[in-house]
Amino acid sequence: MRRIKSIDAFRGLCMLYMIFMHFFEWWIIPADIWVHTAGRMMIEFIGASAFLFISGISTTLSIRLRKEKVNSDPNYSNSVLIKEYYYRDLLFLSIGLIYNAFTVVGIWGLRGLWSWYILLTIPVCLAIGYPLIKLPKIVRIVLTFFIIFITYPLFAVLESLRYTDGVSEILYHLLFNPYWEDPILPMFAYFCFGTVIGEIFYEIYSIKDENLKNTLVKKRIIRNFLIYGIIIILISIVGAIFVFNDPISVLIRGSFSWIIYALGWNLIIMGILTYLHEFKFSSEWKHRFLYYFSFYSLTIYLIHNIVALFFWHFFNKYSVWIPLILIIILLWFMLKTIYKKIGPKFSLKYAISKVAVYLSKKKRVKLMV
């Protein structure tokens, strides 16, 4: 099965959004931060929620393709697959904990190691991902919306009890600390739903008949994603207006209405990008703008935190735009050049995968001895 262009494009879009919004927030003076806040409210659905959604898709595709290898390669067994998968996940978890150690331990102490920034959220989702895809698609859809519906009530209960009850404090910390970042419950809902979308992609893109495959891409992916995405968005807006009496809540990250609203947008964007990359754009998609941001996503995430320090709270709401655009263009040009010169060697994700493969083989040799 060939690589699916729209998935890389969506991941690259998420990374581009993250870079832009982080630099905007860190470079603009505090007096003008409202500009960043307003912009983020409008398009926050392209952020962490979308990235977890894409992670669910790519994780499913990766596991399915490796399952094919198990069936076709006598030297590659299911036990090796599992070892590779969880070694890789442990390495991601280590990076997440190290990141937290450098960024928040100084503020919150050792308890800050378990803070739901996306580098911790992703490996925890991945840890559940392997057994998750064994469930039928309908069960995962039900699980997605069950998680969405219990998240806010559970958060409200634990937050109200956290200072009076030790067990509630522990549960609150494990599930929601800090609530304004990427806590596991709402974000896992996006990952879980993404695994369902990943199954749909796998089923359709595994078809060898190009005409049949293109027909199903149009009907089951593009058309259905757009229709269901619009329906989900309308449900979130209607609920915000008539149930919660708060129309603006669909724009407030983490609110019940926003969680559903963002899920609808994830489907719509995935449908649009699939249409563009399958039926409109040329085959030279690797050289398009978003690809490099997707390919080096983890590397970019770690590096961009250092670049942000160069102009900390330096620009106002008018002067910030030119350096933002310039840094994005410069970063794209650098990534494109690096890709042409050394390819995956600059990718931290690629290095992690190589180490995971090495560890799984090393372990197998020891067991044989």
DSSP characters over 260-279: HHHHHHHHHHHHHHHHHHHH
pLDDT in the model for residue 309 = 77
**pLDDT bracket for residue 365 (50, 70, 90):** very low
For residues 349-361, give the mean pLDDT: 91
Is pLDDT at 334 greater than 50 in this prediction?
Answer: yes
**pLDDT bracket for residue 364 (50, 70, 90):** very low
* Cα separation, 120 vs 102, whole angstroms: 13
Show me where the domains of the chain are located.
219-281
Per-residue pLDDT tens for 218-237? 999 999 999 999 999 999 99
**CA-wise closest residue to 40 among 15, 12, 20:** 20
Q: Which amino acid is at 103?
A: T
Is pLDDT at 369 greater than 60 in this prediction?
Answer: no
**pLDDT bracket for residue 274 (50, 70, 90):** very high
> Hey, is 315 helix, strand or coil?
strand
**pLDDT bracket for residue 285 (50, 70, 90):** low
Q: How many CB atoms are located within 10 Å of the residue 231 CB? A: 12
Query: How much of the chain exceeds pLDDT 90, in percent?
Result: 82
For residues 309-327, give the mean pLDDT: 91
Provide the mean pLDDT of the chain. 92
Angle between helices 137-161 and 184-205 (to 10 degrees): 170
Which region among 279-288, 340-349, 358-367 has the lowest average model confidence (pLDDT)?
A: 358-367
pLDDT in the model for residue 7 = 95
**pLDDT bracket for residue 284 (50, 70, 90):** low
**pLDDT bracket for residue 366 (50, 70, 90):** very low
Cα 250 to its chain centre, rounded Å, is: 20
pTM of this prediction? 0.93
* Cα separation, 271 vs 274, whole angstroms: 5
**Cβ atoms of 24 and 61 closer than 8 Å:** no
* Cα separation, 272 vs 211, whole angstroms: 20
